Amino acid sequence: MVSSNLNTSKPWLLRPFNERSTQLFLGILFGALALVTILHLAFPEGHALHVSAYTVTLLGKYLCYALLAVAVDLVWGFLGILSLGHGAFFALGGYAMGMYLMRQIGDRGVYGDPVLPDFMVFLNWQELPWFWHGFDMAWFAFIMVLLAPGLLALIFGFLAFRSRVTGVYLSIITQALTFALMLAFFRNEMGFGGNNGLTDFKDILGFDLRSDATRLGLFIATGIALAIGYVVCRGIVLSKLGRVSVACRDAEARTRFIGYRVERVQLFVFVVSAMLAGVAGALYVPQVGIINPSEFSPLFSIEVVVWVALGGRATLYGAVIGALLVNYAKTVFTGIMPDAWLFALGGLFVLVTVLLPKGIAGLLQRRKAPEDSAQAAGQEVTA
């Protein structure tokens, strides 16, 4: 069903490279990565053009958010599912990475226990809980980064899509899902560090997390992950599966009557999106140095949606633009006048949805509407 009888010469993953928008996006992304790297390495500290390690990490954080936004756009823009719980997948990926980083601390923790992380010693735990085993191996942790959010999405999606929960209902139960997970992770008994989460990381794959070189490496890795994530999503969108998923978005019942198994398409796309969110979370944690249950908060998940809305739904590159812009604004605002940030964010929610339904990407497209009218029509969004 997926791609058995597609009349295309290339495999689905290579098809995006023929697109101008993807070429442009990758060009700009890699250009920016190279520029930041050069500015960071070539100029000495204090030079006007020097990009500090702090800024590099900040940009790396933005890129993680951008990848998360791409994941959300994949389900919202192309599947019509407004997930208000993608923060949960992001955080699960982050926790998987955090557990690996905790195990890497070894006996350098405050309590010096060779096996148990500090918070477990503090809580008088005698041995490692079963779900912490294996996280001392990087490969296992990296698989879990994909598997943990993927499995949750699989189970949740299977239940939800099979019983045809869609639209607002689905949005609200995704929000309930992340809310329930947040409450659960706040509990010390869960074994994930409770309120404080996981922190005090030392190194990753043997590299010191506090060194500038590691930070730069993580930044570049995030950029590459974003590029891969973008290409994968774009590939899915251009494949037959992608077209079916757009069909599900626009007329679910009709697609079902034609004979497609709508719930399978939805499940596949939803799981891929959750895994991408997990990867974003995993890259986020070593850069900010902490993961705690607040990443599960419904506010964060819904904020991600507004990044996508601002950038423009169903474009993918719009999601990246939105994530970068909003987070840059957040950094600036919280620095200058922290009180005003929620006003600005709230206003953004209202203005974007009322006045700018297609986001910034919509503005860009309107200017070159004649040549791309076919594509724009394909991206007509009905909720």
Partner 1 sequence: MSILRLLTGLLLLLSLSLPAGVYAQSSDSEASALLQALADSSYAQKQQVISDIVSSGDERARTWLEAYADGKLAQTKDTGAFVFVLSNRGRDWTVADALSGDTIGEMSRRNIDRIRINNALRKELEGMLSVIDLTVDDADTRLAAARALKGEVDAALAERIGTLLDTEADDDVHDALTEALAIYQVAQGEVAAVAVLSGSLNPQARVALNNAAQSDNPELAAAAAKALESIQTKLKINSAAETLYFGLSLGSVLVLAAIGLAITFGVMGVINMAHGELIMLGAYTTWGMQQLFPGQPGLALILSIPAGFLVAALAGIAIERTVIQHLKGRPLETLLATFGVSLILQQLVRTVISPLNRSVVTPEWMSGSLMINEALSLTLNRLYVIGFALVVFAGLMLIMRKTRLGLEVRAVTQNRAMARSMGIKATRVDILTFGLGSGVAGLAGVALSQITNVGPNLGQSYIIDSFMVVVFGGVGNLWGTLVAGLSLGTINQILEPWAGAVLAKIVVLVFIILFIQKRPRGLFPQKGRAAEG
Which residues would be at the binding site for partner 1 (CB under 8 A)?
82, 156, 159-160, 162-165, 167-169, 171-173, 175-177, 179-180, 183-184, 186-187, 298, 302, 305-306, 309, 339, 342-343, 345-350, 352-354, 357, 383
Nearest in space to 238 (alpha carbons), one of 23, 78, 29 = 78
Give CA separation, 150 vs 66, 161, 179, 263, in Å.
19, 15, 18, 16
Our CB check for partner 1 shows the closer of 172 and 290 to be 172
Neighbours of 97 (CB within 10 A): 28
* Cβ closest to partner 1, residue 141 vs residue 177: 177
Nearer to partner 1, 16 or 362 (CB): 362
Q: Specify whether the CB–CB gap between 134 and 140 falls below 8 A.
A: yes
As measured in angstroms, the least distance from the Cβ of 166 to partner 1 is 9
Amino acid at 127: E
Gap between the terminal Cα atoms of the chain: 26
* Minimum CB distance to partner 1 smaller for 214 or for 315: 315
Of 10 and 187, CB closest to partner 1: 187
Candidates 62, 146, 46; CA nearest to 96 is 146
Q: How far is the CB of 354 from partner 1 (least distance, A)?
A: 5
271 vs 147: CA distance, rounded Å: 10
Residue 322 Cβ, how far from partner 1 at the closest point, in Å? 13
To 10 degrees, the CA torsion angle through 68, 72, 77, 78? 100
The nearer residue to partner 1, 177 or 280, going by C-beta atoms, is 177
Taking CA atoms, 218 is separated from 57, 282, 377, 382, in Å, by: 8, 11, 38, 38
Q: Compute the least distance from the CB of residue 79 to partner 1, in Å.
A: 12
* The amino acid at 378: G
